[in-house]
Amino acid sequence: MELRKIAFGRPVKLLTLLLSSMIIGTASAAVYYTLVMEPRVTVTALTVKFVNGGDTPAGSTVNDAWCRLLLKSYPNATLTYDQAVNISNTDASNAHSIQLRHVSITPDGTAYVGGNFTSIKFYLLDHTGTQQTTFIYTNNGTHWSPPSDTGYYSIPANKEWIIKVETLSSPGATVNTVCDIEIAVDVQE
Partner 1 sequence: MRAEEVSSELLPEFFALLATNLFLMLSLLTCLLDDRLPKAIPYMYQIAALMGYAHLLISREFTLAFGEYMRFWYCFIYLLVALANIVAVNIYFAVVKKQWDLAKVWSGTVTFPTIMVSMFFVSNYGYTSGAAFPLLFLQIGPVVSAIVMGISIWIFLSPDILRNFRKEVRRWN
C-alpha 50/C-alpha 83 separation (Å) is 12
Residue 14 interacting with partner 1 (CB under 8 A)? yes
C-alpha 140/C-alpha 108 separation (Å) is 11
Q: Name which of 21 and 142 has its Cβ closer to partner 1.
A: 21
- Min dist. Cβ of residue 123 to partner 1 (A): 19
* One-letter amino acid of 177: T
Phi–psi pair at 22, nearest 5 degrees? -65, -40
Site for partner 1 in 127-186 (CB under 8 A): 184-186
Q: Is the dihedral of CA 37, 95, 120, 141 positive or negative?
A: negative
- Min dist. Cβ of residue 153 to partner 1 (A): 15
Site for partner 1 in 30-89 (CB under 8 A): 31-32, 34-36, 38, 46, 48-50, 64-66
- Min dist. Cβ of residue 118 to partner 1 (A): 29
Q: Which of 3, 21, 39, 58 binds partner 1 (CB under 8 A)?
A: 21
Residue 28 interacting with partner 1 (CB under 8 A)? yes
Size of the site for partner 1 (CB under 8 A): 31
C-alpha 16/C-alpha 6 separation (Å) is 13
C-alpha 117/C-alpha 120 separation (Å) is 8
Residue 124 interacting with partner 1 (CB under 8 A)? no
Burial of 39 by CB count in 10 Å (0-12 exposed, 13-18 middle, 19+ buried)?
Answer: exposed
* One-letter amino acid of 31: V
Give me the residues that bind partner 1 (CB under 8 A), please.
10, 13-14, 17-18, 20-21, 24-25, 27-29, 31-32, 34-36, 38, 46, 48-50, 64-66, 184-189
